[in-house]
Amino acid sequence: MDEMFPFSEAPDTAVFTCCHVLSGERPVLYVSHDEDGYWQFLCGEDHEESDAKLVSLHSIYLLDNSLGQLAELECCHSAERDSADDEWKFW
Ligand SMILES: [Zn+2]
């Protein structure tokens, strides 16, 4: 296991993302840690159900290392930012 990996979950934990983030079309601007423990890393736009993709937590982290700042985000909380260069705002 990568000792630099900031999340307490295992790197191969399945998380939700959207096709836009996965394709590199848009950055992750909305992150939710749901009450059932699932993480969502989305672009912040509206989505159809078919836009949802399941990937590993590690692959999302590799895509954008700044997501490591959200490793402490507790269940039932979410974070947003206006662009990839902005600070995260926590809810
Ligand atoms: Zn999207």
pLDDT digits over 31-61, tens only?
A: 999 999 999 999 999 999 999 999 999 999 9
Q: Cα separation of 61 and 40, whole Å?
A: 12
Domain membership of residue 47 (yes or no) is yes
Domain membership of residue 9 (yes or no) is no
Predicted local distance difference test score (pLDDT) of residue 3: 62
User: How far is the centre of ligand 1, averaged over its atoms, from the C-alpha of 21 (Å)?
Assistant: 6
User: How far is the centre of ligand 1, averaged over its atoms, from the C-alpha of 11 (Å)?
Assistant: 22
Q: Cα separation of 73 and 25, whole Å?
A: 25
How many distinct structural domains can be found in the chain? 1
Q: Domain of 26?
A: 14-81
pTM, rounded to two decimals: 0.93
Domain membership of residue 70 (yes or no) is yes
Domain membership of residue 62 (yes or no) is yes
With beta carbons less than 8 A apart as the criterion, state whether 56 and 12 touch.
Answer: yes
User: How far is the centre of ligand 1, averaged over its atoms, from the C-alpha of 51 (Å)?
Assistant: 7
Domain membership of residue 86 (yes or no) is no
User: How far is the centre of ligand 1, averaged over its atoms, from the C-alpha of 52 (Å)?
Assistant: 8
Domain membership of residue 90 (yes or no) is no
